Structure 1
């Protein structure tokens, strides 16, 4: 494995994230106005997650910092990360985030992408042995409750390559919602269990940052027992040993990184690398599919990793996807 996370790269990625999680503007709020009183600044609406251009990017910016702090507790950025968490993850601020969700217009707020990332952050903080996870717990439980309410009524999955993708939401929520694994597994089976011979048509589209095909497979690898995943995966992508579907093995071209939608494709390259690595890890060591899958992961990482900084349209979020890809 050529690309791996080390302390030097962790320091760089942490510095990028620290530079935007408290940067309030520019900002793209996902906010419903029920009246003139709802026209408030991002920090008034969201006392914790007001930076990083949008709420979900701020959440996974915090996740990035939490993961890097745990993996590399002695990097130079570590004191700044701890100070940030102490300053921002407070009971009062978390209560403000919970209160925001009570508004009638917030029922679908950040569903399911932000829901999954918030629960991934909560799961990561729980590994630290610090009080931050307990402080964030009311917000995490609120979003876990939203998953419990939503999944039984979600008749169909959403298979796009961006925020509404339901497989990504389940995958990111799974660690925190371990007690709800039967619900997550039943939902994934209902949505994806009969999928066969996926041709990956339409991948990539012009603003994908997820591969609908690969993130679905990664979701099933996470939620299904190995004995059930293996035959499902064999049927879902039957020609991987021959590097088919070919589109999944070719990194995306990014023509303009100042365009926020086109810049999504850098994230696609990184998230594909993440999925390829996760899926390869689910196979036996002698499986002939592993070599082309791991090669594809390296080529996608090489295409995406140099571009995690440079323009704010990518810089406010790409470090998180770099960490996912590097951690596999």
Structure 2
């Protein structure tokens, strides 16, 4: 369970990273010499935490912690940062990034989905943060809708390109806000995943932080009513009660947390815990996978701050693993 001790640890780790400008990995196609600028010129808000998408979900993380633990000592620093950064002028600069020739492909779809989650969280706070972020959320929702409608097949890897994970976050945002995007996600999810049965894929990959199988199952749990989801899940993972396939139930080993790609595996342990909790709840048995969840959290939670290759982003995944709410609930 998420405690204030966890919240303070995550906030203390993440807050400095949100404004730490270097190192930074740009997702940019250079069109000419004028494009060679510092990340903060290209991204007025999200120029910390090593890359754009990690900075986005870092802001989501600290705003969520602020709401859940408004009296923790770090709350004041979170408010000061949000008041300074989540303002219309800076958001306009972020929107402009997606109007560039290479913009519609930048951070797709992972960063887009996390921005929608950030906007949804910002709207749950008193004040102007949600309104300020609305133009960027609207732009990325439009890009997401167009992207999903153009896609013939889902992307079922365990990295940033994973379709199901982005669709889960985007669906949480779209419900009650964007009926068009909600309908697109529902249609694509059913087309791509409703007929999947007897999963026997090769997981995990060596640099994955998401499970293709479990993110798809979590997505279907959000779209199907409980009896329909139970029937779908029984066909998709028919040996789940026997913890088969075993690779989905055993925490992964992280051999080198200073290697940015290998460090992804800590995220896999944490995101699996989040998925298993959501799947169990959708099946009407929140404790069904409790031992598996506990094992995955225990394997990675103590290590998320050991190296910047993990600490710049893993706090968000630890928060997903420990709390019991969907991103926009």
Shorter chain as denominator, the TM-score bin is: over 0.9
Matched, 1:190 2:208: no
Q: State the 1:174 CA deviation.
A: 1.3
1:102-141 matches, within 5 Å, as: 102-141=99-138
Structure 1 equivalent of residue 97 of structure 2: 100
Q: State the 1:130 CA deviation.
A: 2.1
Count of residue correspondences:
320
Does the residue aligned with 1:176 lie in a helix, a strand or coil?
A: helix
Mapped contact 1:50–1:58 kept (Cα < 8 A): yes
| Aligned-partner Cα distance in 1 for 2:298–2:215 | 20
Structure 2 equivalent of residue 300 of structure 1: 296
Deviations 1:115-135 (A, max 9, x none): 110001111111112210000
Q: State the 1:236 CA deviation.
A: 0.6
Structure 1 equivalent of residue 240 of structure 2: 240
| Aligned-partner Cα distance in 1 for 2:298–2:172 | 28
| Aligned-partner Cα distance in 2 for 1:55–1:184 | 24
Deviations 1:165-217 (A, max 9, x none): 00001001112111332221111011111100001x32111101001111110
After TM superposition, the score normalised by the length of structure 2 is 0.95
Matched, 1:28 2:21: no
1:243-254 matches, within 5 Å, as: 243-254=243-254
| Aligned-partner Cα distance in 1 for 2:226–2:77 | 40
Mapped contact 1:157–1:191 kept (Cα < 8 A): yes
| Aligned-partner Cα distance in 2 for 1:48–1:107 | 18
Structure 2 equivalent of residue 174 of structure 1: 171
Q: State the 1:231 CA deviation.
A: 1.5
Structure 2: segments with no counterpart, 5+ residues: 325-329
Mapped contact 1:184–1:223 kept (Cα < 8 A): no
| Aligned-partner Cα distance in 1 for 2:259–2:182 | 38
Q: State the 1:153 CA deviation.
A: 1.1
| Aligned-partner Cα distance in 2 for 1:216–1:68 | 27
Structure 1 equivalent of residue 316 of structure 2: 320
Mapped contact 1:89–1:136 kept (Cα < 8 A): yes
Structure 1 equivalent of residue 65 of structure 2: 68
Does the residue aligned with 2:238 lie in a helix, a strand or coil?
A: coil
| Aligned-partner Cα distance in 1 for 2:270–2:16 | 21
Matched, 1:278 2:275: no
Q: State the 1:9 CA deviation.
A: 1.1
Q: State the 1:269 CA deviation.
A: 0.5
Structure 1 equivalent of residue 229 of structure 2: 229
Mapped contact 1:119–1:173 kept (Cα < 8 A): yes
Mapped contact 2:229–2:283 kept (Cα < 8 A): no
Q: State the 1:81 CA deviation.
A: 0.2
Structure 2 equivalent of residue 8 of structure 1: 5
Deviations 1:5-44 (A, max 9, x none): 1111101101111020110100000011011111111100
Deviations 1:69-118 (A, max 9, x none): 01000011000000000001111100000011101111111111001100
Deviations 1:238-261 (A, max 9, x none): 111111111111100011100000
1:47-58 matches, within 5 Å, as: 47-58=44-55
Mapped contact 2:260–2:309 kept (Cα < 8 A): yes
After TM superposition, the score normalised by the length of structure 1 is 0.95
RMSD of aligned residue pairs (Cα, Å): 1.1
Matched, 1:157 2:154: yes
